[in-house]
Chain A
Amino acid sequence: MLKLKNVNTFYGNIQALRNINIEVAKGEIITLIGANGAGKTTTLMTISGVVPPRTGEVIYDGEPIHKKSPDKIVKMGISQVPEGRLIFPDLTIMENLDMGAFLRNDSAGIKEDMDHAFELFPILYERRKQLGGNLSGGEQQMLAISRALMARPKLLLLDEPSLGLAPLIIRQIFEIVKKINKESGTTVFLVEQNANLALKTAHRGYVMENGEIILSDTSEKLLANEDVKKAYLGL
């Protein structure tokens, strides 16, 4: 479904991604793990078209998308829950969700999906008229995920959804990610530093270091890998 081929991405003169090759099959949950500054966020931003690659290709559903603008990429079915959640602070929860559906105009379907988000996260319904800026970290993460789902994505990119959240909420969020993947067949590309949890959630994983993919395998094998254990699982 998604294929990164020899992708090199730069910030000015600084190279953040080196020859990245990643493949994601339809219906999969894959995870990309790595330390701070490895290039995980950059990988997602490259896929979303916010930081286009200098060389290499990003192929989605058989079509090259690395020269497309972010709005075209969203339109094709790729949504991102970015690092730091980036909730619109002066919009209410409902308005934030509505922004997630910016490119849709089936108001009945949008309403339906909003109700679905409220079912998934009842707390969002209780706070629906509150401004995004006044939500707790956990609530913001729930809202960010729901907002991304409002676009009815085929591929969902998640950037460190566990960051700064209490263990209980993290578990709840990962359960929902699995549920979304199972029930609506949404493909999930999960970026995490919490390697243990990520590998337990995903089918396959990639390990990134200094802008390069140094390992890729099924989750079980990565969880059993001595190097991964030492570097990312704290064992």
Chain B
Amino acid sequence: MDYFLELFFSGLTRGSIYALIALGYTMVYGIIELINFAHGEIYMIGAFVGLTVAGVLTSFGFPATSIMVLASMAAIVYAAAYGYTLEKIAYRPLRSAPRLSPLISAIGMSIFLQNYVMLAQTSDFISFPSLTPEFAFLDKYSSTIGSSDFLIIVVAAVVMVLLTLFIKFTRMGKAMRATAQNRKMAMLVGVNVDQVISVTFIVGSSLAAVGGVLIASHIGQINFFIGFIAGIKAFTAAVLGGIGSVPGAMLGGLILGWTESFCTGYVSSDYEDVFAFALLVIILIFRPSGLLGKAPIQKV
């Protein structure tokens, strides 16, 4: 039972991170039907900014908790600026171009950002300080759930609740839903669609940045390539849940996290990715539009 719980929580931790990143894919897809391949790189940049800020603040002797908060905030601001700029320069000019063009632009930006960080930083793994405070009340359960797992799960849950409330109840949230359902009609009722698209990129990038800092501090090291792998996993989660669906991305992330965790725990750790993608294939065979997706995907 202990082992099961341990796997359950480590799956939940992973899944929460996948969900945070998957939300960015799914929201952008929902609004402009583009798979933003550079989204994983935004997450990676968030982790690097977090690392830099954490390094500086540590040298000034700040306490861990405030470093965590400040590093996350800096990562959010930075990643949001990158996401916003990315859309402006790489996608907006191609808005009325054939569908393939922005997709290629996205792949190009992904490669560019990876190489840019590799050159500006290093191609080696850099160690990332553990910024999670030790939660004393978890001591009894230390074999099943660690402090940083706990932090990731709680932060991700809070962030996802806030996002859901934002989409459901704010004016911008309404504008986003309307734009996702019918962009032309959204314009005709007075939604500033350009602004909605920018906000979508900003929100998605911020979520990825939070995920980036949390996981970097959890795992303890980062390099320029982490965005690629996490990006593919999160994209898988988004497709699994039904791309374009916000609750779908959350669900897809968790299911993927648990699948990986249980399969590696009970079967073999060599095939972690095989399980993840096998699950994707199986679900897509039975539900081509993903678990909570709507119309069949015809537009990729």
Contacts and interface: CB of A to CB of B under 8 A. Distances in A.
Interface of A: 48-50, 69-71, 74-75, 79-80, 82, 86-91, 98-100, 102-103, 147, 151
Nearest to B171: A102
Interface string B171-193: 10011011001101111111110
A147 B294 CA distance: 24
Contacts of B178: 88, 91, 99, 102
Given A88-B182, A89-B181, A90-B181, A102 B187 contact: no
A151 B190 contact: yes
A151 B189 contact: yes
Given A86-B182, A88-B182, A48 B188 contact: yes
Given A86-B182, A88-B182, A70 B175 contact: no
B188 A91 contact: no
Given A71-B192, A90-B181, A91-B181, A99 B174 contact: yes
22 contacts: A50-B184, A50-B187, A50-B188, A69-B192, A69-B194, A71-B191, A74-B189, A74-B190, A80-B188, A82-B184, A82-B185, A86-B184, A86-B185, A88-B178, A88-B181, A89-B181, A90-B177, A90-B294, A99-B174, A99-B189, A147-B189, A151-B189
Contacts of B174: 98-99, 102
Interface in B137-193: 171, 174-175, 177-178, 181-182, 184-192
Interface residues of B, number: 18
A9 B192 CA distance: 22
Given A69-B192, A87-B185, A151-B190, 16 more contacts: A48-B188, A50-B184, A50-B187, A50-B188, A69-B194, A79-B189, A88-B181, A89-B181, A90-B294, A91-B177, A91-B178, A91-B181, A99-B178, A102-B175, A102-B189, A151-B189
Interface of B: 171, 174-175, 177-178, 181-182, 184-192, 194, 294
B58 to A, nearest CB: 47
B187 A71 contact: yes
A14 to B, nearest CB: 13
Nearest to A157: B188
Contact of A71 (B171, B185, B190): B190
B157 to A, nearest CB: 25
A70 B178 CA distance: 15
Listed from nearest, the 5 A-B pairs whose CB atoms lie closest are A74-B190, A86-B185, A70-B187, A103-B190, A71-B190
A82 B188 CA distance: 8
Contact of A86 (B177, B188, B192): B188
A36 to B, nearest CB: 19
A156 to B, nearest CB: 12
A90 B194 CA distance: 22
Contacts of B187: 48-50, 70-71
Nearest to A44: B188
A90 B177 CA distance: 9
B163 to A, nearest CB: 17
A102 to B, nearest CB: 5
Contacts of A79: 188-189
A70 B182 contact: no
B187 to A, nearest CB: 4
Contacts of B185: 82, 86-88
